[in-house]
């Protein structure tokens, strides 16, 4: 039986991942902002076969609560097999350009709050010398583009942070997985026009579970984003700066 | 405004706003002026009961969580947006099945209640609504009402078969049926005409849980009403085999040219289908999904009917007129050369649904589908309405896109009583259409 901490448990991708683990009888600890939504998810996971599905409601932007989260999770789960961090927001780039406050807040939620949680989690996992830390970053972090560079900067910073953490924790056998989704059909992207590149959260979840099992380092979901981003990363800056991406 | 939320018949094509509902604890969106809303599940009803032209639809397919399941009693409580496909994947391996299933797995629980769907076992167990113990209804005044036979019983009976007009069903509780395993023992029997069908049906309904017949809609004269009678029972066999899913092996990627399904191709298909069975009776064991949902094996099969879409027609007529009315309907179709690609005939049983506006009632029910050829198709369907009205029968709203107000009111004499329970902010293209004064 796997013991799993999920932070940002009300996100659509996290819900889909949790369902898969619940079916195999996992013990889950769900952290998110809204206790009513967490309760609905917990009921669903229990019906689907989870051994336990405890919930913890708090605002993840409040870093003073982070120690409390891990303390509570440790108390229920004991050692952890997997910690998945999935919370985030998709900022309106234009609004950020006109508001320092908005920009800082987006960096806070999508980068700094995750770094804070990872700092605590890393030490926990280092002590137990086993397990997997899986974090949802984004293809947006692979290169700054005019349409979403605030979000991209947060996710890019996160990807670099995770690279360093993987380097450090691999020495004690802890697996760090960087997940880079492309476009996924979720409430966060409700306003976007959908096309061929869009993926369902259920298929993204299956890729994440298999990447955790196979101890992959970095996974693009769906897989073709690896090649799309390879091309985008390799466009010379002099050409790139004139494009409207 | 979105044009992406169609009904299964791809007719009519209209524009409406879409609001996704993700949580059963959510409030309904704020409405401005006269704006109305209508719940929308997976869009598998054929005509316009799931459409709200110029208004808003509440898309519920993301509100899809389980709430509680009792493995002893088979009581299951879940969000109204749960898809039957997901539900079956969860319950069949545990030895349970839905008490009533329609011919596709891609419907929501809320949609099954709102259309009070029926299945091949209607003669035994009635409609889906007969097995719903309770549900929560969210009304536009913000009130949440738990409805059952004992609590808010009027809203309970109005909502079952209530076409989504009484409010948003947020969750529901249903009583599942115990099964030994995922297999169905089936028999397929070729019959030569309509009276053979009625005899086979009478004999089979006693010992077979599921009965239905496919009819060759273009056969005339002494062959009128010939077809294949298919009956099945849940098998006692508990096989350790894996549950292999019926994944769409073939999908129709784009709309076919509108004339692909014409008089000749339909005739060819129907005679070939009748003749594919050489012996009179074939017995076999099938996985439940292949038995119940053969069309789900072809993704987006409705696209075969082209851009103009298809018109379904399902009616029920009391047994006293069953033979005459059904042969008259089949005769009309065959003579006008307007064959239906798939024609299905079944006898409904006595069990009454609690639903005020439910379609199923004792009698013979015939389902036909026609490529939309414009005026000639509509005229044919109007003439079928006359036969049904004279036989004191009814036409199924979930499959309709064109019946007129007078016909609707004669098929559903409870309509005025039902209308009292409609939520003032809920409406649909269907309801506005059948409430219109036609004058004639």
Q: What average pLDDT does the segment B24-40 reach? A: 93
The CATH number given to whatever domain includes residue A67 is 3.40.50.720
Has residue A195 got a pLDDT over 80?
no
Stretch B193-202: mean pLDDT, rounded? 95
Shortest Cα–Cα distance, B385 to chain A (Å): 41
> A161 — phi, psi (to 5°)?
-60, -45
pLDDT of residue B248: 58
Per DSSP, B154 falls in state: H
Give me the pLDDT at residue B218, please: 82
Mean pLDDT (whole number) for B348-367: 97
Domains of chain B (ranges, CATH numbers)? 183-400 (3.30.70.2520)
CB contact under 8 A, A47 and B67: yes
Q: Which of B22, B83, B85, B109 should we substitute to test contact with A (largest number of A Cβ atoms within 10 Å)? A: B22
Q: Which SS3 state, helix, strand or coil, does residue A2 take?
A: coil
- Domain assignment present for residue A220? The answer is yes
Helix (H) or strand (E) holding A132: strand A132-136
Q: Which residue has the tokens 């035994």?
A: B124
Q: Is B23 on the interface with A (CB under 8 A)?
A: yes
Mean pLDDT, to the nearest integer, of B30-42? 92
Bigger pLDDT: B439 vs B286: B286
Task: Kindly determine whether residue A40 and residue B25, on different chains, have CB atoms separated by under 8 Å.
Answer: yes
Output the pLDDT for position B239: 65
Q: Of the candidates A12, A40, A190, which has its C-beta nearest B24's C-beta? A: A40
Nearest CA in chain B to A190: B20
Please give the pLDDT value at position B250.
67
Position B194 pLDDT exceeds 60: yes
Q: How many domains does chain A have?
A: 1
Residue B438 in contact with partner chain A when CB distance is under 8 A: no
A19 to chain B: nearest residue by CA? B65
Provide, as residue numbers in chain A, all residues whose Cβ is less than 8 Å from the Cβ of B20.
187, 190
Express each pLDDT in A203-245 by its tens digit: 999 999 999 999 999 999 999 999 999 999 999 999 999 998 8
How far away is chain B from the Cα of A239, in angstroms, using its nearest Cα? 37
pLDDT at B440: 43
Residue in the block written with tokens 């085999």: B241
Does some domain include residue A138?
Answer: yes
| Long-range CB contact pairs, B84-93, < 8 A, 24+ | B84/B108, B84/B109, B84/B112, B88/B288, B88/B289, B89/B243, B89/B245, B90/A47, B90/A48, B90/B66, B91/B176, B92/B179, B92/B182, B92/B243, B92/B288, B93/B243
- For the segment B381-390, what is each residue's pLDDT rounded down to a tens digit? 999 999 999 9
φ and ψ of B27, to 5 deg: -90, 160
Query: Residues B302-331: what's their mean pLDDT?
Result: 92
- The pLDDT of residue B439 is 46
* Half-sphere exposure (Cβ direction) of A78: Cα atoms closer than 13 Å: 4
Q: pLDDT tens digits for B153-179?
A: 999 999 999 999 999 999 999 999 999
More confident residue, B247 or A69: A69
pLDDT given at position B31: 87
Asked if B284 reaches chain A (Cβ–Cβ under 8 Å), the answer is: no
Q: Does residue B264 come out as left (phi exceeding 0), alpha (psi in the -120 to 50 range) or beta?
A: alpha
Q: Give the residue numbers spanning the domain of A144.
A: 3-240
Q: Establish if A130 belongs to a structural domain.
A: yes
Q: Is residue A65 part of a domain?
A: yes
Query: Which residues of chain B neighbour A48 with C-beta distances below 8 Å?
Result: 66, 90
- B163 torsion bin: left (phi>0), alpha (psi -120 to 50), beta (else): left
Decide if pLDDT at B18 tops 50: yes
In a domain, A245, yes or no: no
**Do A48 and B23 lie within an 8 Å CB cutoff?**
no
Query: Would the CB atoms of A47 and B62 count as touching at under 8 Å?
Result: no
Kindly state whether B144 is in contact with chain A, defined as any CB-CB distance less than 8 angstroms.
no
How far is the C-alpha of A23 from the C-alpha of A13, rounded, in Å?
16
Q: Which residues of B touch A41 (CB under 8 A)?
A: 65
Per the domain annotation, does A82 fall within a domain? yes
Residue A136 forms part of a structural domain: yes
Contacts of A14 in chain B (CB under 8 A): none
* A146 contacts chain B (CB < 8 A): no
Do A41 and B68 lie within an 8 Å CB cutoff? no
Nearest chain B residue to A49 by CA: give it: B90
Contact at CB, A43 and B65, closer than 8 angstroms: yes
B113: pLDDT strictly greater than 90: yes
Alpha-carbon gap: A44 to the closest alpha carbon of chain B (Å): 4
Query: Residue B245: pLDDT above 70?
Result: no
Give domain status of residue A17, yes or no: yes
Chain B residue closest to A44 (CA)?
Answer: B66
Query: Counting one residue from A and one from B, how many pairs have CB atoms under 8 Å apart?
Result: 29
Strands B344-348 and B298-299: unpaired
Mean pLDDT of B98-120: 97
- Which tens digits make up the pLDDT trace of A32-60? 999 999 999 999 999 999 999 999 999 99
At A88 the pLDDT is 93
Nearest to B368 by CA among B332, B349, B341, B348: B341
- Inter-chain CB proximity B20 and A190 less than 8 Å: yes
Which of A43, A48, A187 is the closest to B22 by Cβ? A187
Output the average pLDDT for chain B: 91
pLDDT at residue B337 is higher than 90: no
Instruction: Determine the pLDDT at residue B47.
Output: 95
**pLDDT for the residue A82:** 98
Would you tell me how many other CB atoms lie within 10 Å of the CB of residue B171? 25
Q: d(Cα B134, Cα B155) in Å, to the nearest integer?
A: 11
The pLDDT score that the predictor gives to residue B437 is 61
φ/ψ (deg, to 5) at B338: -100, 75
Q: Is B67 on the interface with A (CB under 8 A)?
A: yes
The tens digit of pLDDT for each residue in A110-163 reads 999 999 999 999 999 999 999 999 999 999 999 999 999 999 999 999 999 999
Which pTM value belongs to this model?
0.93
Give the B window 80-119 contacts with A, CB below 8 Å. Answer: 90
Query: How far is A202 from A186, CA to CA, in rounded Å?
Result: 11
pLDDT class of A166 with cuts at 50, 70, 90: very high
């Amino acid at each position: 039986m796997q013991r799993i901490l999920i932070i940002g448990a009300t996100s659509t991708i996290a819900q889909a991942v949790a369902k898969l683990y619940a079916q195999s009888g996992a013990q889950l600890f769900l952290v998110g902002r809204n206790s009513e939504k967490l309760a609905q998810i917990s009921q669903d996971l229990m019906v689907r076969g989870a051994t336990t599905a405890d919930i913890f409601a708090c605002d993840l932007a409040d870093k003073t609560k982070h120690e409390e989260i891990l303390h509570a999770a440790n108390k229920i789960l004991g050692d952890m097999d997997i910690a998945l961090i999935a919370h985030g927001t998709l900022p309106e780039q234009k609004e950020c350009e006109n508001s320092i406050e908005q920009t800082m807040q987006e960096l806070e939620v999508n980068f700094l709050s995750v770094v804070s949680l990872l700092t605590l989690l890393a030490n926990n996992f280092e002590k137990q010398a086993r397990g997997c830390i899986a974090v949802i970053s984004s293809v947006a972090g692979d290169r700054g583009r005019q349409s979403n560079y605030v979000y991209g900067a947060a996710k890019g910073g996160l990807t670099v942070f995770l690279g360093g953490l993987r380097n450090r924790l691999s020495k004690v056998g802890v697996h760090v997985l960087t997940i880079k989704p492309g476009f996924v059909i979720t409430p966060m992207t409700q306003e976007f026009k959908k096309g061929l590149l869009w993926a369902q959260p259920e298929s993204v979840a299956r890729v994440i579970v298999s990447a955790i099992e196979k101890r992959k380092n970095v996974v693009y979901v769906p897989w073709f984003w690896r090649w799309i981003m390879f091309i985008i990363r390799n466009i010379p800056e002099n050409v790139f700066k004139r494009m409207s991406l | 405004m979105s044009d992406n939320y169609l009904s299964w018949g791809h007719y009519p094509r209209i524009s409406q706003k879409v609001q996704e509902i993700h949580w059963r604890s959510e409030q309904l969106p704020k409405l401005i002026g006269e704006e109305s809303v209508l719940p929308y599940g997976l869009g598998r009803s054929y005509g316009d009961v799931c459409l709200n032209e110029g208004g808003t639809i509440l898309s519920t397919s993301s509100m899809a969580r389980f709430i509680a399941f009792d493995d002893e009693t088979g009581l299951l409580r879940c969000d109204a947006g749960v898809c039957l496909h997901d539900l079956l994947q969860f319950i069949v391996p545990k030895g349970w099945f839905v008490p009533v299933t329609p011919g596709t797995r891609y419907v929501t629980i809320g949609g099954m209640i709102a259309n009070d769907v029926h299945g091949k076992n209607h003669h035994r167990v009635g409609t889906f609504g007969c097995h719903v113990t309770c549900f929560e209804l969210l009304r536009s005044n913000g009130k949440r009402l738990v409805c059952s036979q004992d609590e808010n019983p009027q809203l309970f009976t109005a909502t079952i078969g209530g076409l989504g007009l009484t409010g948003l069903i947020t969750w529901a509780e249903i009583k599942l049926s115990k099964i030994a395993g995922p297999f169905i023992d089936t028999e397929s029997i070729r019959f030569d005409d309509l009276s053979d069908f009625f005899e086979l049906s009478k004999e089979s309904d006693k010992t077979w849980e599921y009965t239905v017949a496919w009819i060759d809609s273009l056969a005339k004269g002494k062959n009128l009403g010939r077809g294949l009678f298919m009956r099945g029972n849940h098998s006692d066999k508990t096989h350790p085999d894996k549950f292999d899913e019926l994944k769409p092996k073939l999908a129709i990627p784009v709309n076919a040219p509108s004339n692909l399904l014409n008089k000749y191709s339909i005739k060819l298909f129907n005679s070939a289908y009748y003749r594919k069975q050489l012996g009179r009776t074939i017995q076999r064991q099938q996985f439940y999904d292949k038995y119940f949902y053969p069309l789900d094996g072809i993704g987006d099969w409705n696209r075969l009917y082209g851009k103009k879409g298809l018109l379904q027609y399902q009616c029920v007529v009391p047994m006293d007129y069953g033979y005459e009315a059904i042969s008259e309907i089949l005769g009309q179709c065959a003579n006008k050369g307007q064959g239906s690609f798939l024609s299905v005939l079944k006898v409904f049983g006595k069990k009454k649904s609690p639903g005020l506006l439910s379609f199923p009632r004792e009698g013979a029910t015939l389902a036909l589908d026609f490529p939309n050829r414009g005026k000639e198709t509509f005229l044919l369907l109007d003439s079928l309405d006359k036969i049904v009205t004279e036989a004191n029968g009814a036409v199924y709203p979930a499959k309709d896109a064109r019946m007129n107000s007078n016909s609707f009111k004669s098929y559903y004499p409870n309509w005025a009583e039902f209308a009292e329970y409609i939520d003032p902010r809920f409406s649909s293209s269907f309801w506005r259409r059948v409430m219109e004064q036609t004058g004639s």
